[in-house]
Amino acid sequence: MASVVCTGVVTADLVFRLPVPVDAPVKYRATDSAMTAGGCALNAAAAVARLGGAAHLAGSVGADALGDLVCAEMAAEGVATGLVARVAGVPTARSAVLVGPGGERTIVNHRDPRLFAAAPALPAPFPFDAALADTRWPEGGAAVLAAARAAGRPAVLDAENPVREAPGALRAATHVAFSELGLADWAGEGDPAAALERAARDLGAWVCVTRGPAPVLVHDGAALFEVPAFAVTAVDTLGAGDVWHGAFALFLAEGLAPLFAVRHANAVAALKSSAFGGRSALPDRDQLDRFLKEQA
């Protein structure tokens, strides 16, 4: 069982499913709703655990009822929370999420900067097979990725906008997976293939950019590749990128070649997006294997 430590933002999400896009300041009636734990690092850790890996979450929540919710959901998912700090007097980060009729989501988030005052206290020597960090906690991410890289383990950065605020994490990562907005924030507007080539050269890392239903572009330092996404009817895309990163880190930890890890992660994100309600459609390993065989 490969182990992955996932570091970054942890939230409590109140999710509403709407029959129409939100485009006016009026009242809307939701057709469904869910209260769930969320955030980049938490969703990634849940994906690692659901796929059979040993998942460890490193982050901070308040010593409040929402923090209790987060920790209870992670325990139910089989995610270790020994590296989750409970900060007294500070509210757990929370998001209001509106999911439109095509699965697209609008997120309003609040997180108190006092949650990120200290980097996580990692065991030494570095005990995990891979590390994943996001740009929402730049200092914590840089510390965890640097420890993984020094130990010769994959150090994956979820390079979501704003990327420029996390220079230490960028330099520590062995694998940088940009979102489209993250790549534009780092490189400026322009051709994503050219931007990836520059990123691979300047960062000295394997790089890619995820693009929703479009193929993932990959640059390994020598050549550019495309890895197609899987066609599904998107119902809820909340957290799809997060579980992509968790799955990708796990498959690297298991020794899978990066291009194959991308393909597997594409499948996990596609399956997760096929139903409403946070992680309700997040696949386990058997479901993933069946889906990949069907798509072959």
pLDDT digits (tens, 9 = 90+) for 27-83: 999 999 988 899 999 999 999 999 999 999 999 999 999 999 999 999 999 999 999
Contacts of 62 (CB under 8 A, 6+ apart): 86, 87, 88, 89, 90, 91, 92, 112, 115
H-run or E-run covering 162? none
**Counting every residue, how long is the chain?**
296
Q: What does the angle CA 279 – CA 284 – CA 286 come to, to the nearest 5 degrees?
A: 150
Question: Do the beta carbons of residue 210 and residue 242 sit within 8 Å?
Answer: no
Contacts of 267 (CB under 8 A, 6+ apart): 230, 283, 288, 291, 292, 295
First CA to last CA distance, the chain? 26
Residue 115 has what DSSP assignment?
Answer: G
**77: which 2 tokens?**
């998912």
**37: which 2 tokens?**
């734990």
Of 98-112, 180-194, 277-291, which one has max mean pLDDT? 180-194
H-run or E-run covering 29? none
Tell me the domain boundaries of the chain: 3-21+30-113+130-295
Bond before 162 cis per omega within 30 degrees: yes
pLDDT of residue 238: 77
Q: Compute φ and ψ for 295, nearest 5 degrees.
A: -75, -20
Distance CA 181, CA 203 (A): 18
188 vs 156, which has greater pLDDT?
A: 156
Mean pLDDT of the chain: 93
pLDDT of residue 23: 85
Superfamily of domain 3-21+30-113+130-295: Ribokinase (3.40.1190.20)
Res. 296 pLDDT band, cuts 50 70 90: confident
Residue labelled with tokens 């010769």: 152
Q: Average pLDDT of 6-14?
A: 94
Res. 100 pLDDT band, cuts 50 70 90: confident
Res. 285 pLDDT band, cuts 50 70 90: very high
pLDDT tens digits along 231-272: 888 887 778 899 999 999 999 999 999 999 999 999 999 999
Q: What is the pTM of this model?
A: 0.93
Question: Do the beta carbons of residue 176 and residue 150 sit within 8 Å?
Answer: no
